[in-house]
Chain A
Amino acid sequence: MKNLGCLLLLMVSLQAQAESAEDIVKGVEKSLSPGDFIVTYELVNRRLDGTIVAYEVDFQIKDIDHAHGIFQKPEREKGREVLRVHDALWTYMPDVGRAIRIADRDSFAGGDFSNADIMRPDWTAHYKAQMAKETPKQWIIDMIAGDTEAAYAKMRLWVDRETHMPMQQHFFDSSGTLLKQCRYGAITRYDTLQRPARLHMENVLTGQATDMRILRLSAGQKFSDARFSVDNLGK
């Protein structure tokens, strides 16, 4: 009877651990994309030839399925828009006045973040989270792609146990080759929301990197549904 009790306790404990990996990732998702917020990102693409290209993009993010961004800098890109509506992703180029469908896996603004990295951190929808390792200070969680919508075969996320903030993320292909690594920093409080204000995404295969910084963030906003319509791009 005692043994059975121990076994049950172990099973419950294992179950709790599996759920906690999922919950931890959901918590991270929530901190990165809480919904109903306006954010201005600065993205700096650093190329190996020394070229540095900086972009400033204002995003209105209603929820995980509705996001709209408009480029403010540089002057050449001003007015360019990106729109996510559920699984569809569009870019609008004012020069040609047309919306073009793009893919989640495409690079965002020619940098090392993909469109999905920037506009849709809904990892738990496409990956199965499992605890790879727990240390006194960190959770190391593996996320294995569960469907064909996932941009990577596997991701590994390091989460600080104290703040529940992401610290580092690795992106792998199916053979285990590390494609990119993202490092998080500058944990900042924006009203009721706390999240990393700096992200450094490095393509470990090419050696190029992109830095992302939050310039402004305002949570608790309300947006009109019309903002998230392809027909309203450019208006």
Chain B
Amino acid sequence: MWSLFKVAFRNVGRNKRRSLITITTIFIGVVVICGVRGLLNGLQDEIRSGLARKIHGDVQLHKTGYRNSIDTSPYKIMFSYDAALQAKLRDYPMIKDVAPRLRLVGLLNHQRTQSTLPVMIQGFDSRHELVVCPRAADSVVQGRMLDSAQERQAVALAENDLAEATFLDAPGGEPSPSVKNTTGYHQALLSADLFKGLGAALGDEVVVLLNDKNNMQQALIATVTGVVDFALPTAEAKILWLDYHTLQNSLALHDEVSELALAITPDTSADAAVADLQAMLGKDLVAETYLELSGFLKDVMTIQNGIFNVIIIIVFAIVISAIVNTSLMTVMERIREIGTLMALGYRRRHILFLFLAESALIGVIGALTGLAVAGTVLGGLSMVGIDVTLPGQQVATVLYPRVPPGFLLFVMVLAIGSALAAAFVPAYRASLMRPVDALNKS
């Protein structure tokens, strides 16, 4: 058998050009597959990181029915983040931090332009939010991140005004005296779309109008301190962020939250955390991973993976057809040699083995060189990153391509397997030849 291996080695070197073409085909196939997978992994890592570290946190806790009611009945899905729940989550070792959030719908009035728009309002406490979503601060493309420690609750000056009034038509009754309303300092972050749509500038004053749970109108005066661009296709384009405690005070909420965003320890998977939390919390609250919360992007990634699988099939179909072609030519050229080997006592299985060994050798060389080049290039890129920031996008999007070792092994097996599969039919046909017929072929 070893002698057949040696023959196979020699045969690969005999027709260098043809072997080189076949090796190059496999090499290109391997590089393309690894390259595409590496870039796709980089893109999907960026999406995952964006979702988990900028927006959702690793895991979120909601009340049942959250998704159906968050936009229409935000108070219906609020739940109490009371001391008992806080203690329960604090005692859970896999949780790094918990960020309470409020989500509501309201109106935003931009004072300078007097534009009023319906907005999604999100309240967060920056002290916890930046632990759960550390990349959220990187998404502030203008101004600065909201700092909950800087919030100053308003003192209602107008409410303390008990000075006498005058009739509208009395001397000096018009115009109405200007009212110094409230003191206090509230920070507002606007999404980039909202900021642009309003024609706002940093430092502008905005009035947030929202109804409390008794459907009574409440108002908040805030200063625009930052602009947020997640550089991700999120469902809501018009989002306003305010401080969680400020919103709580304004809406007379006590410990209610719309959602709890959780950061879990790096050694815990989000799926495992969800399963554990769900078992601990029972049916009242639903634990979901960041991917479950972003159904659209999860679907996008599934489609991407499906397309990638099609690319693998197409690339290796081309590789196999090239190998089949060269193997057939090799067999045709070596019919007399096959006859000679058989006349010397080599059995059909030896002939089959010889051609398969040649093909496998070519597959190994092509796959190894392809993996070496792809691995080196991707390894380098994974350290420096590839900037794929779109024109007009204010946050740099950098992909870090990577291919896990398991995938490299899979590509190696696939390349060699494809070479063997492609060579099997020609090799089998060669093994079926009768020595006399083979020797008679010119």
The residues of A with any CB-CB pair to B shorter than 8 Å are 47-49, 105, 132-133, 135, 137-138, 140, 145, 148, 150-154, 156, 158, 160, 165, 167-168, 170, 172-179, 181, 183-187, 196, 198-200, 202, 204-208
Contacts and interface: CB of A to CB of B under 8 A. Distances in A.
A206 B114 contact: yes
Contacts of A184: 167-168
A173 B218 contact: yes
A129 B214 CA distance: 20
Given A167-B166, A184-B167, A205-B209, A173 B219 contact: yes
B162 A176 contact: no
B376 interface: no
B168 A137 contact: no
A199 to B, nearest CB: 8
Interface string B209-247: 100101111111100000000000000000000000000
Contacts of B164: 135, 137-138, 140, 158
Contact of B168 (A47, A49, A150, A186): A186
B11 interface: no
Interface string B165-206: 111111001101001011000000000000000000000000
Nearest to A172: B159
A137 B165 CA distance: 10
B114 A185 contact: no
Given A173-B217, A173-B218, A177-B154, A168 B212 contact: no
Nearest to A185: B168
Contact of A175 (B162, B207, B209, B218): B218
B109 A200 contact: no
A131 B209 CA distance: 29
A168 B219 contact: no
- Interface on chain B toward A: helix, strand, loop, or mixed SS? loop
A124 B173 CA distance: 28
B252 interface: yes
Contacts of B174: 200
Q: Which of B155, B169, B179 has the most CB of A within 10 A?
A: B169
B207 A206 contact: yes
Given A167-B165, A184-B167, 10 more contacts: A47-B114, A148-B215, A152-B216, A156-B159, A173-B219, A175-B250, A200-B168, A205-B109, A205-B207, A206-B114
B219 A205 contact: yes
Contact of A177 (B165, B170, B176, B220): B220
Contacts of B250: 173-175
B162 A151 contact: no
Contacts of A176: 154-156, 158-159, 182
B116 interface: yes
B162 A204 contact: no
Contacts of B116: 206
B249 interface: yes
12 contacts: A48-B114, A151-B216, A175-B250, A176-B182, A177-B219, A178-B156, A178-B159, A196-B167, A196-B168, A198-B169, A204-B181, A206-B111
A168 B212 CA distance: 26
Nearest to A175: B250
A172 B158 contact: yes
